[in-house]
Every structure is written in structure tokens, then in C-alpha cells.
Amino acid sequence: MNDRTLAGTGATPRAGVGTVVWYRPDAELEEPPEDGVDEDEELGRFAEARSVAREELERERERTAERVGDEEAAVFDAHVQFLDDPQIEDGVEAAIEDGLPAEHAVERAFADPIEQFEGMEGRMSERADDLRDVRDRLVRLLTDGERTDLSTLPDGTVVLAERLTPSDTAQLDPERIAGFATATGERTSHAAIFARSLALPAVVGVGGELNEIGDGTTVVVDGDDGEVVVNPDSERRAATADGREADVRHDPVATEDGTEIDVAANVGRPAELDAAKSQGADGVGLFRTEFLFLDRDAPPIEDEQYEAITEALAAFPDGRVVVRTLDVGGDKQIPYLDQPEEENPFLGERGIRRSLGPDEDPFETQLRALLRAGAAEGGDLAVMFPLVATVGELDAALERVESVAADLADEGVEHAVPELGVMIETPGAVFAAEELAERVDFLSIGTNDLAQYVMAAARENGRVADLHDPLHPPVLRAIETSVEAAHANDAWIGMCGEMAGNPNLTEVLVGLGLDELSMSAVTIPDVKANVSKTTREAARALADRVLAAETKETVTELVEEP
């Protein structure tokens, strides 16, 4: 194949050139024995493999949280749930009773669920890759197979694969890998999300033509235009190698008619601050503090939290850093905080509920660090409370801030109360947005949880994944309601999450009236470019059409119009 361009879906606005290495993890199992198996022995092997798989997943979650981010690492919690899925467990046991060894039983038990998800549309179909990931892990353990180590591929490798699972993608080293392309997948797949977090050039959904490219071929992976260029000429190689640094804008941007929009970065660890600065972030729109509490036996002390926050402020001396107070519960478990086992943890003790209840001591320590940081040199500090659902919760949180400030004053400790805000993640917060905005300086929309609660569709439940989409009209109308409430009460309003970082949605978000958009650092240049290309009038007209739409499909067509 010479000088040919294959079209797919760009997953990240990056381009890379390198040498193809095909990743083909699937291996055929040997034929099962004709004389059957010892059922008890095979059930024991399956139980042991499942136990080891759970340990592996816990370790991979920790590593992924460190390298990629806590939000992305949560996918491995869903994999643990698949390990314990009664339907799959029953299927394995039935297959063993039919005389199959445990590895063949696993293959058979996963076959129907994978096929069911593959036959669905949108994000539902992507759950098949999660099931494959768990299946392949169990089969590898049962057959003593070796796992291909994608983290040790040669420098300048372009990985091609039929598909990449979350476990596969989490291994890729951005310092070595020039990019990847897959035959299947969509922009919302876990592989694509991981690629954006790792700033890896990636194109997904190329189709069967990808298989015609052989190992050792030079290709360009253009995640901006959604192209895989086979045997590119020297001019294309040079242009790709030059990268996209010219597109980075370090100055704030505004629409063509002068409406300024802050474009900030979501940051999960201090190590991500440099990447945010290099991509032109105006500040930090979401500084997750959970990293301070992970991989340890006790909560961090006040000074440790103060240093992490002031490091972020120093990185953006002319910008704003929005810190989210500790947000645990749901899919974020910290053992030493003694979190209860809940039948539905996403509807249980999460966010501000824990800070005002069982975690009140760590919350007070964190507030002390935050108020001290408010008086430190550097950027402007803002603090927001997660998962607020009632005005009473906000009032209680504000009282805690006042109490901590009084204590610091009595101790003679320098401090300042920063801007205070509320995350809009629940329908309760949307309906109470007017009252909330009266009490704080800003609101910040967390679209991942907002979509989950508005649409009653758990973020990690593949069976309802298509419902968990912010382009559903009820979610968009919730955003509009929140924006109007903020502006009516002289509060600014931002958005953090996957929706804010999708350049295809920049115009409609500007039209909805967002003052700040915060995202993974890699998409900042494209979002800034799109802000500068639109006018507030045109953006508002698009937003009006979108808000009038009755279905997600209509919304999708509107935002994809040229």
C-alpha cells in the first residue's frame, strides 16, 4: 500500500509519524478434552483466576490514576464489577458443568454479552471492549499466558490494532509511542479518552482497510483530521514532525465580537501543571484534590495540602485555579476513610455529604490549607464544593468556611477567603441554582455526573451508556437553566469535563453562555481556536436550535453541521 490515506475518527488533536507495529493479542485456545473435566478443580481454577484478576485491576487502577487521571482510572472499577457479574459467573459455571475447562468456559460465558453490546448503537457498543478486556485477562491467567508489554515498544512506534482495550491503552508510553490507530472504536471510547489524557495522536474507527498496512510501514496518524496516511511523502512527514506548537495560544481568547472565554485545564496531579501551561491554559478550572488522599494510610496533613495548592497557584500567577474539595464516594474509594458498602454508591455518601458528615475532620483540615493558600502569592484561588443537592448543604459548607477563618484569625495565621462556588452535578442543584448562585461567586457544571443523574444512567453501567450523554436535550436544558441562574445573580459559570473539551461543541457552549471551559490539556489549543472563530450571535443561534431539539440525534446533527 503506497501513498494512501485512510479515513477514521480523530480522537485527539495531535499528529505523529512512525513505524507500524501491529498488536494482535487474540490467541486460539487448544481444543477442550473429549473426556470432560473435573468440575470442582475447574471451578477452583476460575475462582483463583478471578481473585488474581481483581488484584491486577486494583494495581492497574492505581497506576492509571497516577499516569492518566482518576476519572479515566475509574473504568477499572467497572471491570471489577464485570468479574462479579452474576450472569457471567452463572455462564462460566454452566459451561464447566458441560465439560469445558475454565478458560473455554470463560470464552463461552462472555461471548453472548459481548455480541449483545456489539449490536447496540453509540456508547453502548463500546462496552464490548470492556468485556473483552476482562475476558482476555481471565483467559491469560487460566492458561499462564504472557501479556504483551506495550510500554516497552521501540521509540517512534505507531501501534495498529483491531481494537485497544483500556488495559492496553493505559500501557502506552507517550515518550515512545508516535500514535495509534484502530479499526474499530469511536471518539467516546476508553481508548480515545485515554489518548486525549496522554496527548497521544490517535485515530479510531478506520475499518478493515487498516489490516492492509503491514508491520514496518511508515505512517502518519493525524488525530486532528482523522486520517492515517500510508507511506507519506517527505513534505508530509516533515510537517507532522514539526507538531502543532504554532497553534498553541498562551494569551486569553475571545469570540470575533469580543466575548472573552476562559479556557482552562483539568488537573489531577501537580505533575500535570506543566502540560497545562504548555498547551496554553489560562488557568486551572478543576484541580482534583483526591490524589493527595490516595495510596496512603492516613489523610494528608494541612501543610502538604497547602504546598500542593500553592504550587498550582504559582504555575498560573496571572490566572485562576479552581480547587474542588475532597470528592470521594461513588467510584472513588479510600479505605482509611471507612466508607460504607452501599447498594448504589452513586446515590449514597458522596462529595459534600461526606465532608459535612463522616469526613468533617479531613474537610476542616483541607479548608485550613485552602484559606491559607488564599493569602499566598500567585494566581487567584477559587474553591468549589462537589455534589451539592440542597441549599442547606451549601449553607452548612459556608458556615464551616466561616468557622475555619475565625479559628485561623484567632491563631494569628495569615489567610484569605477565596472565591467560593458550587458544582452543578445534580438535578437538585439545577432546580436550586438561583438560590445557590445568590450565595456564591460562581457555579461549575460537572457534565459527567450531571448527565448521569439527569438521565438516570450510571456512568460505568454499559447497559445504559447511550443515555449517559450530555447531548440529550434534558441535560442541555439543565445547563441552560444553570447558566441563566448564575448570570442573573452576578456569578460566573464554568464547565469541566469531557463535554467542555470536545472542540465540536465549543460553539454551542459559547452560545449557551458559559464563561469558562475546562478540559484535558491536549484539547485546549483547538477549543481556543474555535472560540476565536465564532461570534456570540452565531453561537447563540446554534444554542437556540439545539435547545429546541427533541432528541439527541437531532442535537448531534446540529452540532456537526459545517
Helix, coil or strand: residue 248: coil
Rounded Cα distance between 208 and 322, Å, is: 44
CA atoms within 13 A on the CB side of 290: 24
Which residues are tagged catalytic?
Answer: 190, 496
Residue 242 burial (CB count, 10 A): 10
Residues listed for the chain: 562
Which residues are bridge partners to 265 per DSSP?
284, 519
Q: Dihedral through CA 468, CA 470, CA 471, CA 476, nearest 10? A: 130
How does strand 15-23 pair with strand 157-161? parallel
544: cell is 437556540
Q: Determine the angle formed by the axes of helices 536-548 and 552-560, rounding to 10 degrees.
A: 160
Beta strand residue intervals within 92-188, DSSP E: 157-161, 177-182
Cell of 492: 460566573
- Residue pair 385/363 in contact by the 8 Å Cβ criterion: no
SS3 261: strand
Which residue type is seen at 206? Answer: V
Burial 1-23 (b: 16+ CB within 10 A, else e): eeeeebebbbbbbbbbbbbbbbb
Distance CA 17, CA 220 (A): 4
Q: Are 559 and 505 in contact (CB under 8 A)?
A: yes
CB of 470 closer than 8 Å to CB of 451: yes
530, 506 contact by CB (below 8 A)? yes
DSSP 134-154: HHHHHHHHHTTPPPP-GGGPP
Strand 260-267 and strand 253-254: pairing? antiparallel
Which 3 state secondary structure label does DSSP give 87? helix
> Alpha-carbon distance 232 to 219, whole Å?
6
Retrieve residue 205's grid coordinates.
474507527
Buried b (16+ CB within 10 A) or exposed e, 205-226: bbeeebeebeeebbbbbbbbeb
Helix (H, G, I), strand (E, B) or coil at 158: strand
In angstroms, the Cα distances linking 504 to 94, 256, 299, 498 are 47, 18, 40, 12
Query: What whole-number distance in Å separates Cα of residue 158 and Cα of residue 215?
Result: 10
Radius of gyration over every alpha carbon of the chain, rounded to an integer in angstroms: 24
What helix, strand, coil percent values describe the chain, rounded to 5?
50, 15, 35
